[in-house]
Amino acid sequence: MKLNHSTLTMMFLALVGCSVNNQESTAANQQLARQQAFENTIRSIDSDGNSSALANTLKARMKAYGVPAVSIAVFDNNQVIWSKGYGKSDIASNQKVTTETLFQAASISKAVTSVAAFKMIQNSNFKLNQDVNLKLKRWQVPENQFTQQQKVTPSRIMSHTSGLNVSGFEGYAQNQTLPSVVQILQGSDLSNSPAVRVFQTPGESEYYSGGGMTVLQLLMEDTSEQPFSQLMQQLILKPLNMKQSSFEQPNELQDQIAKGYDSQQTMIEGGYHLYPEKAAAGLWSTPTDLAKFMIALGKAYRGEDETLLSQQSARTMLTRVPGAGGTGIGIDGEADAFRFRHSGGNAGYTCYAVSFANSGRGFVVMTNSDNGFQLIHEISRAVSEVYGWPALWMRE
């Protein structure tokens, strides 16, 4: 039987299509197998950092720690390869977690804010090493004996070497009157945190300061003349297609919120606290959205795509400051194990995001419990083991 050219071409394309489909099917099966291996090989970690020889399921470890919900996204080669929600976002209503369930990103907000600040620096809104008082309009950092020679700068704020106090914030119940950013910095009667002040010489040493990030929030608003939430939407969330993320309170998305729980598995009053200190703690997000952010920052660092940030800015962020971490984000490891990361803990929520800077792989995990950090450590080690990656946890 003679076959014409057209028929031969069609047969060839069909064979190629089958081959591609088979390859895709094999890759999908491999990913599913690894995901299932991860879900069934979570090992407890003792106080000396040693893993138990006995593997357990993620569900069992969640129960052991009293963590109602866990949501995870794993990415490799600059792509999210799988994401999944586990457990309950609301114990009382038996609401299941999905990949679109919203969690408070807590201090991961600082990393997202810092990238936005670097974009504003690129746009000449303010300078990295400039005294913030030269640009602040509605409030000024009070001068004292510590600021006579050294000043508070955006660089020092983001690297937590600004000398500013107030490490973190407890948030506000939903029925409370929220203070403004200026009132928080002033330490007004409406604020439940101390006034933000310089308590040691700027640049002298590291002190983790949510108060400093709140100064940065005011600086970004004053120099852009935009509300912070709107500014973050414009600079970061919209360009990265982070559709499930916002620095606004998700009042119309109550059924998508994972309610927060304390260490005794009691729900936080009203389900969650409010954080007007948005730069430090105010982001609502999902692991998949945060993975997009981590992937984009890694691409900028490697010079693959500078849409989010210039390579120079990204490399500045991921360069260690003497006596501290990076500028706006934590860094650990060397060579192939070099990674950037940030953890977060608000009332009722704990989370962690990490990526290898040179390869575009990592993961994001979010929980709705004060008990989440030790579980996240176990999850981090399990991901490393299943995928054959270097350590992913902080300072391991």
Q: What angle do CA 105, 205, 132 make, to 5 degrees?
A: 70
Strand (E) or helix (H) holding 300:
helix 287-302
- For residue 17, what pLDDT is reported? 60
Q: Which of 20-29, 222-231, 328-337, 385-394 has the lowest mean pLDDT?
A: 20-29
Q: Between 41 and 7, whose confidence is greater?
A: 41
Tens of pLDDT, residues 149-196: 999 999 999 999 999 999 999 999 999 999 999 999 999 999 999 999
The model's pTM is 0.93
Find the mean pLDDT for residues 9-20.
Answer: 57
Region for 360 from its dihedrals, namely left if φ exceeds 0, alpha if ψ lies in -120 to 50, beta otherwise: left
Could you give the 3-state DSSP secondary structure of residue 373?
helix
Tens of pLDDT, residues 221-250: 999 999 999 999 999 999 999 999 999 988
CA distance 80 to 82: 6
CA distance 355 to 331: 10
What rounded mean pLDDT belongs to the chain?
Answer: 94
Q: Please name each of the domains of the chain with its CATH number.
A: 48-387 (3.40.710.10)
- For residue 2, what pLDDT is reported? 53
CA distance 42 to 215: 40
Find the mean pLDDT for residues 368-380.
Answer: 98
- For residue 266, what pLDDT is reported? 97
- 3-state SS record for 2-56: CCCHHHHHHHHHHHHHHHHHHHHHHHHHHHHHHHHHHHCCEEEECCCCCEEEEEE
Write out the E strands in 105-241.
none
Could you give the 3-state DSSP secondary structure of residue 365?
strand
